[in-house]
Every structure is written in structure tokens, then in C-alpha cells.
């Protein structure tokens, strides 16, 4: 092989190949796509039905009018799609590691951080497609953010997708066995989702229990939700942006560290 392929053009080819494979696998797993779509829609439906009695919430940024409960939870459900997706791709990475696909990836001559980040971005691309499909259906459910919001939410989705994907990547290096994914669901997905602002505004929680409100404040997932919520209504939540960006760097750094060959995380399990 000629060593010229180690240049940036080669890297781009490599990146595209990783995204292509992820898309191909995703296209084959139609159930995964459907369940990723149906799950938030069911929730939306349940909340809409169950919370009909709730008046909705008074104006509070980024909303300028009274909003229904469905409108409030929609951004949280977008983030939920990404949370599931990020951890699902971590599951597939544990699986990859056991089937040898991880070895295939890591004998590529490009740097390991580049390979892992590419893999992460490929997962993010998939989750973004899922979120847009959800938003499209939700539109007919009278969740109608401004049109520009659909464009502005894209960078927010990419960033929050990266944060949740990096979390998944880090967990995948730490999870020793596939079965433990059930544990991840119980100990990561559900607590992160319920102890966030996905289902109830912070001020509402504060009224009832300042202590619980603090938990919400320390949950990075809260900031994914808020970043998406504000972007969808054409505003920037700078705190959320900073926290999500910082947390992404932290998780990604931890994941790359965990996949470092001298730590021997890969292949420790046989």
C-alpha cells in the first residue's frame, strides 16, 4: 500500500465509509427505526391523553404564549430518541467488539481517536434522521415550531447526539458483557430521562422540591433537552450549549482513553 493514502483525502474516505456502513446497517434494521419512532409517539399520545386536564404552562422562554403539555414534552422526546440511539450504538459496539468488527475498525491505519469519533458521528447522523421523522409526525399533532426552528435545531441535535453518543461509547468500553445492557437501561437511560426537564419545567419542580430541582440541574441530559428546546424555537440557550459541549469533550476524552491500547480495555474479555 502506498502511504499517501494516510493523508486527509484518505481520512475523508474512511469517515464516509464508516457512516455508509452505519447507514446500511440501520436501513436493514427496520424494527429499530420503527421502535425508535413509535416509542416517543406513544409517549406523546399518552401525555396528550393523560395530561389533558393540565392547563399547560404559562409563557416561559423560549415559549412566548401559553403552551400545551404536548408542546412542552416534544423537545424532551427528541432528546430521548438520541439518548436511546446513543446507548444503542454503544450496545452495537460491545457486540462489534465481541464479533471482531471492532478489531476490523481498529486495524485501520488512521488514528484511533479519529476512528472512534467517526463511528460516533455515524451514530449521530442516524439519530438526527430519526428525530426529524418524529418532528414531521409531531407536526400533524399540532406541535408546530417556527419553520426556521427546524433548521436551527440541526446543530443542537448534532451536539447533543455527540454528547449522548460519547456517553454510550464510554459505557461500551466499560461494559464487559452484552447482558449488562438491561442494566444500562435501568441505571442510565431511565434516571437520566426522568430526572431531567424533559417532562416538567425546572420552575415547576422547584416549587415542589428545591432538592429534586438540584438533581435536575446536575443532570447533563437536562441541558440536551434545553438546547434542543431553545433551538427549535429559534433561540440559543448559552448555558445549555456550554454544558453540552463541555460534557461531550469529557465523555469523548474518557472513551478514547478507555480504548487506548495500553489500557487494554479491548479484548480483555475473551
Ligand X SMILES: Nc1ncnc2c1ncn2[C@@H]1O[C@H](COP(=O)(O)OP(=O)(O)O)[C@@H](O)[C@H]1O
The answer to the question of residue 32 lying near another protein (CB under 8 A) is no
Does residue 176 touch ligand X according to CB under 6 A?
A: no
* Choice between 52 and 268, CB closer to ligand X: 268
| H-helix segments, the chain | 8-28, 30-50, 69-99, 101-106, 112-139, 147-174, 181-184, 190-194, 202-208, 210-218, 220-232, 238-258
The half-sphere exposure of 9 on its side-chain side, counting CA atoms within 13 A, is 3
Decide if 100 contacts 146 (C-beta within 8 A).
Answer: no
- Distance CA(163)–CA(109), nearest Å, equals 26
Q: Minimal distance in Å, beta carbon 261 to ligand X?
A: 13
Residue 191 interface partner, choices another protein, ligand X, none, CB cut-off 5-8 Å depending on type = none
How far apart are CB 60 and another protein at their closest, in Å? 47
Question: What per-residue string of b and e applies to 172-185 under the rule 16 or more CB within 10 Å gives b?
Answer: bbebeeeeebeebe
Find the shortest distance in angstroms from Cβ 269 to ligand X: 7
Taking the least distance from each CB to another protein, the nearer of 14 and 199 is: 14
Q: How far is it, in rounded angstroms, from Cα 105 to Cα 97?
A: 10
Binding to ligand X by residue 270, rule CB under 6 A? yes
To ligand X, the closest distance from the beta carbon of 98 in angstroms equals: 13
Q: Pick the closer one to another protein by CB: 55 or 99.
A: 99
Nearer to ligand X (CB atom), residue 30 or residue 270: 270
**Considering the rule CB under 6 A, would residue 25 count as an interface residue with ligand X?**
no
The residues with which 60 forms a beta bridge, in sequence order, are 63
- Of 86, 33, 41, 125, the C-alpha closest to 244 is 86
Q: CA 268, CA 257: separation in Å to the nearest integer?
A: 15
Per CB under 8 A, does 2 bind another protein?
Answer: yes
The CA angle 256-125-152, to the nearest 5 degrees, is 110
**Which of 48/266 has CB closer to another protein?**
266
Give residues 238-267 in contact with ligand X (rule: CB under 6 A): 267
Binding residue for another protein (CB under 8 A) from 41, 48, 101, 174? Answer: 101
Q: Are the C-beta atoms of 41 and 73 separated by less than 8 Å?
A: no
Binding pattern for the stretch 112-131 against another protein, x by CB under 8 A and - elsewhere? ---x----------------
According to the binding rule CB under 8 A, does residue 267 interact with another protein? yes
Q: Is 268 in the site for ligand X (CB under 6 A)?
A: yes
Question: Which neighbouring-strand residues pair with 63?
Answer: 60
21 binds, among ligand X, another protein, none (CB under 5 to 8 A by kind): another protein
CA dihedral 118, 123, 129, 132 (to 10 degrees): -110
Residues that bind ligand X (CB under 6 A): 267-268, 270
Site residues (vs another protein, CB under 8 A): 1-3, 5-7, 9-11, 13-14, 16-18, 20-21, 24-25, 28, 99-101, 103-111, 115, 260-262, 264, 266-267
Amino acid at each position: 500500500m502506498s502511504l499517501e493514502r494516510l493523508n486527509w483525502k484518505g481520512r475523508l474516505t474512511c469517515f464516509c465509509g464508516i457512516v455508509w456502513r452505519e447507514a446500511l446497517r440501520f436501513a436493514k434494521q427496520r424494527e429499530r427505526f420503527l421502535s425508535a419512532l413509535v416509542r416517543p409517539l406513544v409517549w406523546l399520545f399518552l401525555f396528550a391523553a393523560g395530561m389533558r386536564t393540565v392547563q399547560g404552562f404559562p409563557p416561559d422562554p423560549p415559549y412566548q404564549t401559553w403552551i400545551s403539555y404536548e408542546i412542552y414534552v416534544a423537545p424532551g422526546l427528541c432528546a430521548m430518541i438520541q439518548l436511546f440511539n446513543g446507548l444503542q450504538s454503544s450496545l452495537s459496539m460491545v457486540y462489534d467488539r465481541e464479533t471482531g468488527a471492532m478489531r476490523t475498525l481498529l486495524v485501520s491505519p488512521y488514528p484511533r481517536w479519529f476512528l472512534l469519533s467517526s463511528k460516533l458521528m455515524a451514530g449521530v447522523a442516524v439519530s438526527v434522521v430519526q428525530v426529524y421523522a418524529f418532528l414531521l409526525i409531531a407536526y400533524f399533532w399540532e406541535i408546530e415550531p417556527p419553520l426556521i426552528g427546524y433548521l436551527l435545531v440541526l446543530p443542537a441535535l448534532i451536539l447533543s447526539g455527540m454528547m449522548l453518543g460519547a456517553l454510550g461509547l464510554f459505557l461500551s468500553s466499560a461494559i464487559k458483557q452484552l447482558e449488562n445492557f438491561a442494566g444500562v437501561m435501568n441505571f442510565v437511560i431511565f434516571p437520566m430521562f426522568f430526572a431531567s426537564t424533559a417532562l416538567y419545567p425546572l420552575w415547576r419542580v422547584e416549587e415542589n422540591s428545591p432538592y429534586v430541582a438540584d438533581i435536575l440541574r446536575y443532570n447533563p441530559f437536562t441541558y440536551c433537552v434545553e438546547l434542543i428546546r431553545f433551538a427549535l424555537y429559534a433561540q440559543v440557550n448559552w448555558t445549555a450549549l456550554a454544558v453540552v459541549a463541555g460534557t461531550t469533550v469529557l465523555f469523548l476524552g474518557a472513551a478514547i482513553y478507555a480504548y487506548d491500547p495500553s489500557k487494554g480495555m479491548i479484548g480483555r474479555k475473551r
